[in-house]
Amino acid sequence: MLRNVNRQVNLMTARRQFSLLDKLITNADQALRTLVPGAATAERGSPASGCDYAEMTEDERKHAAGLMRINHTGEVCAQALYQGQALTAKLPEVRDSMEHAANEEIDHLVWCEERINDLGSHTSRLNPAFYAMSFGIGALAGKIGDSVSLGFVAATEEQVCNHLTKHLSRLPAQDEKSRAVILKMLDDEARHASTAIEAGGKHFPLPVKLGMTALSKVMTKATYRI
């Protein structure tokens, strides 16, 4: 019942015309929910909850936490990217698509944070900087045009899928909890990429994708430990 009420409220909100100030306040609220530990709430339960606890050495635990910290920061960037794009997207249906994807990414954000906590570690201290950078990129992409904005989503999700696939092979073999989270995230991210292209997203050329890969390497190296 509560979910149905929330959906109706969200639909009514979506039909409303918001001023730029309203949008900025909403984005500030979303930024706090993304960056403050424990502030976000997932709609779906974590895939890790159905897996048995496994013993790991201290080095294995730290390594798994480092990988999940990278994944968490990736979700922080995704939230900022989608919010920035929704702020400047021209077509209402594109804005709705951005906001829907951002809502699904919140689940990933919470799942990663929960797993990091289980491993006795912390989320990246660099998250505020990465959020600000990603928000700016998203807003710029949305300003250029909806096809570019959607294309950037597809290219970004492709990068995320590549990272997640690599992490599956790098996790400690017995860490089924982290593996379950990553597998579900991988499924969702691939769907987001396909949806963005089907909605009219532009296929980015290889040089642009290579530049995005180089930038993502900086993020992964920095957040693995910090």
Average pLDDT per consecutive 10 residues, the chain (226 residues; last block may be shorter): 41 49 67 72 83 86 90 84 72 62 79 91 88 82 74 78 87 90 87 75 66 72 80
Query: Is 99 known as a binding-site position?
Result: no
Query: Is 72 known as a binding-site position?
Result: no
What is residue 94's predicted lDDT score, i.e. its pLDDT? Answer: 57
Query: Is 189 known as a binding-site position?
Result: yes
- CB 146, CB 91: distance < 8 Å: yes
What is residue 12's predicted lDDT score, i.e. its pLDDT? Answer: 39
What is residue 15's predicted lDDT score, i.e. its pLDDT? Answer: 40
Inside any domain, residue 118: yes
Domain of residue 110: give its range. 22-32+54-223
What is residue 212's predicted lDDT score, i.e. its pLDDT? Answer: 66
Query: Is 157 known as a binding-site position?
Result: yes
**What pTM does this model have?**
0.76
Q: How many domains does the chain have?
A: 1
What is residue 91's predicted lDDT score, i.e. its pLDDT? Answer: 61
The CATH number of the domain where 113 resides is what?
A: 1.20.1260.10
Q: Which whole-number Å values give the CA distances from 89 to 37, 190, 199, 204, in the listed order?
A: 29, 22, 13, 18
| Residue 48 token pair | 């890790």
Query: Is 108 known as a binding-site position?
Result: yes
Query: Is 198 known as a binding-site position?
Result: no
Inside any domain, residue 89: yes
Inside any domain, residue 62: yes
Inside any domain, residue 6: no
Nearest to 153 by CA among 134, 168, 167: 134
Inside any domain, residue 214: yes
